Amino acid sequence: MTETSGDVAAAPDAAPSWLVPAIIGSALMMQTLNATILSNALPTMARALQVEPLRLNLAITVYMLANAVFLPISGWAADRFGAKRVFLAAMAMYALGSAACGLSSSLLHLVLARAFQGMAGAMMVPVGRLVLLRTTPKAELVGAMSILTMPALLGPVIGPPIGGFIVTFWEWRWIFFINLPIAAVGLWLVARHVPNVQEQEAPPIDWIGIGLTGIGMAGLIFGFENLGRDVLPPLAVLALFLGGGACLWLYARHAARTPNAILDLSLFRVRTFHASVVGGAFMRLAMGATPFMLALLLQIGFGMSPFQAGLLTFISAAGAIVMKTVAPPILRRFGFRTVLTVNAVITGVTFLAYGAFRPETPHWAIMLVLLIGGFFRSLQFTSLNGLAYADIDQDRMSRASTLSAMAQQLVQSVGIGLAATLLHAFMVAQGQTRLTAATIAPAFLVVGAITFVSLVFFLRLPADAGDEMNGRTAR
C-alpha cells in the first residue's frame, strides 16, 4: 500500500469522491435506523418477551448509557490503533450485538446484548466521521459531509414504516437481523474503498477522565430519559442529575490540570466549533424531541396506525435528499453565517407549524410542511456539521469528533426528556388523563421557540467563518 500525503494511505481501489462518505454514512444509518425501528416495536416485543412495555424501555436506555460511557474512548482508540481499523471492528461488533439482540429469549439477554451494541455504536459514529475528516480536503468537506449525513437522516424517517411493516407482517427479531447483511456489505466496502488512516501518536489514556465523563454522561442521560415518565421517583431523577452534573464538573477541573485529558475542552474556545456544538444544540434539541412528539400526534392524537404515520412522515426524507444536492453551492454563495442565521428562522417556523396540525388538516398540507421542514432542517445540520471542523487542525480532529458526538448524544436525550416533560405538563394543565391532539400540539410551540436561541451564537460569527471549508474566497 503506497503512502499519500499526510497520514493517509491510499485506498486499495480508486473511488469516486462521493463513494467514501456514502459508505461511511450507510454504516451510520444502520444505527439510526435500528434505534427508530425499535421504538415502534416495543409493544410487540414486550408481549413476546412477556414483560411490561415500560420495563422494555430499559433496552433503549441501556444502549444510550453504554454509548455515553464508551464515547470518550473512541478518539483515543482511533489515534492509537488507526481510525479505519477501529471503524471496521466497531461495525463487526455492532453486527454481533444485533444478532445477539435478535436471538434474545428474555429481557436480561436483550439488555446485555443492547449494552454490547451501544459500546460498538460509540466507536462507530465518531470514528467513521473521523475517517472522513482525515481523508477529505477542507474545501471538499461540506460536500462530503452532505453525502455522509444523507443515509443517517434517512434512518429516523424510513424507520417507522419499516418497523411497522416488520412487526405487522414478520417477527420482531428481524428488527435486529436486518443489520447483518447491511454490516456485511459495509465491511466489504470499507475494506475495499476507504483509505487507511494511519495511527497517530496517542497520549497515555486518561482513565480518571473516562470514569468521570462516563458516569456524568450516564447520570444526565438516564435522568433526562426518565423525565415525565413516572418510572423513577422524583428524588431519584434529581439524584441522577446532581450526580451526573457533579461528575462533569469534577472532570472540568481535572481536564484543566491534565495535559492529556480524554476530552479537550479547550476546543470550545474555537469560535466556529463553539457556535456549531453549543449554538447548534438548541436546533438539535428540537430535532431530538420532534420525531417522538410527531409520532404521538399522528398516532394518538389523529388515530393513525404506526404504518400510516410512518408513510406520511416519510416525505420529509425527500426534502432532505433534495437539499443534499444543493447545500454546497448554497454555502459557497452565502457563507456559513448567513445560511445558519436565515435557515435557523425558517427551521424554527417549521417546528412551530407542526403545532398547527389538526385531525381535519388535509394530508397533503401536512406532507407539504414536512417536506419543507425536511429540506431546511437538513441544510441546517449539514452546515452545522461542516462548521464544527472549519478551524480544527488535523492533530485535534479525533478529539473534536469525540467531543461533538458526546454533545449530540446528550442533547438528543435532553430533547426526548423535554418532550416527555412538556407533554405531561400540558396534559395536567388541561385537566386531561391521557394524551390528545390538544395536549400534544402546544409542545411544538415551545420546542420551536427554543430553536431561536441558536441565533445568538450564529449572529456573532465573523462574516468569513468557514470560508476555507465551503470554497468561498475570503474578502
Among the ranges given (101-105, 139-143, 296-300), the one the predictor scored with the smallest mean pLDDT: 139-143
pLDDT, one tens digit per residue, over 132-173 is 777 777 767 777 776 777 666 666 666 767 777 777 777 788
- CB-based contact 419:447 (threshold 8 Å): yes
Per-residue pLDDT, 173: 86
Which of the four pLDDT bands, split at 50, 70 and 90, describes residue 8? very low
Per-residue pLDDT, 201: 65
Alpha helices in 430-459 (DSSP H): 437-451, 455-458
**Three-class DSSP category at 388:** coil
Which of the four pLDDT bands, split at 50, 70 and 90, describes residue 383? confident
CA 282-87-60 angle, to 5 degrees, is 50
pTM for the full predicted model: 0.73
Which of the four pLDDT bands, split at 50, 70 and 90, describes residue 70? confident
Burial letters 132-153, b for 16+ CB under 10 A, else e: bbbbbebeebbbbbbbbbbbbb
Looking at residue 197, the DSSP 8-state letter turns out to be E
Per-residue pLDDT, 340: 92
C-alpha cell at position 427: 396534559
CA 244-75-328 angle, to 5 degrees, is 105
- CB-based contact 380:347 (threshold 8 Å): yes
Which of the four pLDDT bands, split at 50, 70 and 90, describes residue 457? very high
Which of the four pLDDT bands, split at 50, 70 and 90, describes residue 100? very high
What does the alpha-carbon distance between residue 328 and residue 91 come to, in Å, rounded to a whole number? 29
Among the ranges given (17-21, 71-75, 151-155, 318-322), the one the predictor scored with the smallest mean pLDDT: 151-155
Where do we find the cell 424517517? 157
Per-residue pLDDT, 450: 92
Looking at residue 3, the DSSP 8-state letter turns out to be B
Which helix (H) or strand (E) is 196 found in, with range? strand 196-197
Where do we find the cell 469528533? 401
Per-residue pLDDT, 93: 92
CA 264-266-267 angle, to 5 degrees, is 80
Cα end-to-end distance, the chain, whole Å? 41
Which of the four pLDDT bands, split at 50, 70 and 90, describes residue 5? very low
Q: What is the mean predicted confidence (pLDDT) over 276-287?
A: 88
33 closest CA partner among 195, 193, 218, 186: 186
Which helix (H) or strand (E) is 8 found in, with range? strand 8-9
Which residues, 6 or more positions from 322, have their beta carbon under 8 angstroms from its beta carbon?
A: 375
C-alpha cell at position 145: 459531509
10 closest CA partner among 190, 195, 188, 192: 195
What does the alpha-carbon distance between residue 178 and residue 308 come to, in Å, rounded to a whole number? 22
- CB-based contact 465:337 (threshold 8 Å): yes
Identify which has the larger pLDDT, 474 or 310: 310
pLDDT, one tens digit per residue, over 308-353 is 776 777 777 667 777 767 777 888 888 888 999 999 999 999 999 9
